[in-house]
Amino acid sequence: MALSLPFDPIRRSEEAEKMVMRGESRLFYKFRAAPYYGGIATGDAIGCSFLCAYCWNHSRNENPSRFGNFYSPEDVADKLLEISRRRNFHLFRITGSEPILGEASFRHLVKVIGIVFQESPHSKFILETNGLMLGYREDLADQLKFWNLLVRIARKGVDPASFEKIAGVRREFFTYPLLAIKNLASRGIRAWPAVMEDLFSKAEINELKKTFRENEIMAELELECLEPYPFVLENIRKRGLSIRG
């Protein structure tokens, strides 16, 4: 999937969705018990609207059709539920990709969440997203009214310029993840931003917090830590980025 940086992430979403969706089924390459959040049943999917310099799933998201197998929403939910029962987990997530690329992937996601909550009604599902489509398509938030859904929106930069360099997408799309948080909050859905602190100074992160306040976003900012795989460090170098501290 050849890309020239920076690119249009809406167009990339459409192209990626065609490769990773087959009817209601989506490409996944792994299901696992992960230690994050204190223990969480995790499905690693493929396909993203961004191509972030620090992405640990970079090669699969760059060429999604070369990896994984297709799983129906029922298959995905069953595998996550089996992990949760075996490990006594009460948290679920899909990661390694962007879960919302368009209508087909969104329907798949909603169905997975619905089945998980039907079988495990007191659990929580953490939706990890870059927020692009939830900001671009305000109506999608109307279909996410699960009381125990939590939405973590990864900010890929502290300003349009850093966003473009890190995510590989055009800087004019910087505002959409901000809109996503507001869209969700207005519907009573808990959402918060996260940023990779290793790539920014304290002053830059404080400016990002100021941007949130100016946009009336009161959610606390989560600070992520970089996974320093060799290929991640190389991609960061190629993008002209540096690790702080």
* Average pLDDT estimate for 189-209: 95
DSSP β-bridge partners for residue 28: 45, 69
Q: Is residue 82 part of a domain?
A: yes
* Average pLDDT estimate for 64-69: 88
Q: What is the pTM of this model?
A: 0.94
* Tokens matching residue 98: 């962007």
Total domains in the fold of the chain: 1
* Tokens matching residue 210: 């100021």
* Average pLDDT estimate for 187-209: 95
How far from the centroid of its chain's Cα atoms is residue 131's Cα? 7
Q: Is residue 4 part of a domain?
A: no
Identify the band that residue 245 occupies on the pLDDT scale cut at 50, 70 and 90: low
Identify the band that residue 43 occupies on the pLDDT scale cut at 50, 70 and 90: very high
Cα–Cα distance for residue pair 143/158, rounded to 1 Å: 29
* Average pLDDT estimate for 2-19: 92
pLDDT at 109 > cutoff 90: yes
* Average pLDDT estimate for 5-28: 96
Q: Is residue 18 part of a domain?
A: yes
CATH number for position 222: 3.20.20.70
pLDDT at 122: 95
* Average pLDDT estimate for 88-115: 97
Q: Is residue 1 part of a domain?
A: no
pLDDT at 1: 55
Phi–psi pair at 95, nearest 5 degrees: -140, -175
Cβ-contact 55, 143 below 8 angstroms: no
Mean pLDDT taken over the chain: 94
pLDDT at 65: 80
Identify the band that residue 132 occupies on the pLDDT scale cut at 50, 70 and 90: very high
Mean pLDDT lowest among 46-55, 63-72, 78-87, 101-110: 63-72
Q: What percent of the chain has pLDDT over 90?
A: 91
β-pairing verdict for 69-71 and 25-34:
antiparallel
pLDDT at 64: 85
Q: What is the 3-state secondary structure (H, E, C) of 182-206?
A: HHHHCCCCEEEEEEEHHHCCHHHHH
Q: Is residue 2 part of a domain?
A: no
Q: Is residue 132 part of a domain?
A: yes
Cβ-contact 19, 65 below 8 angstroms: yes
pLDDT at 208: 94
pLDDT at 3: 74
Domain membership of residue 57 as a residue range: 9-238
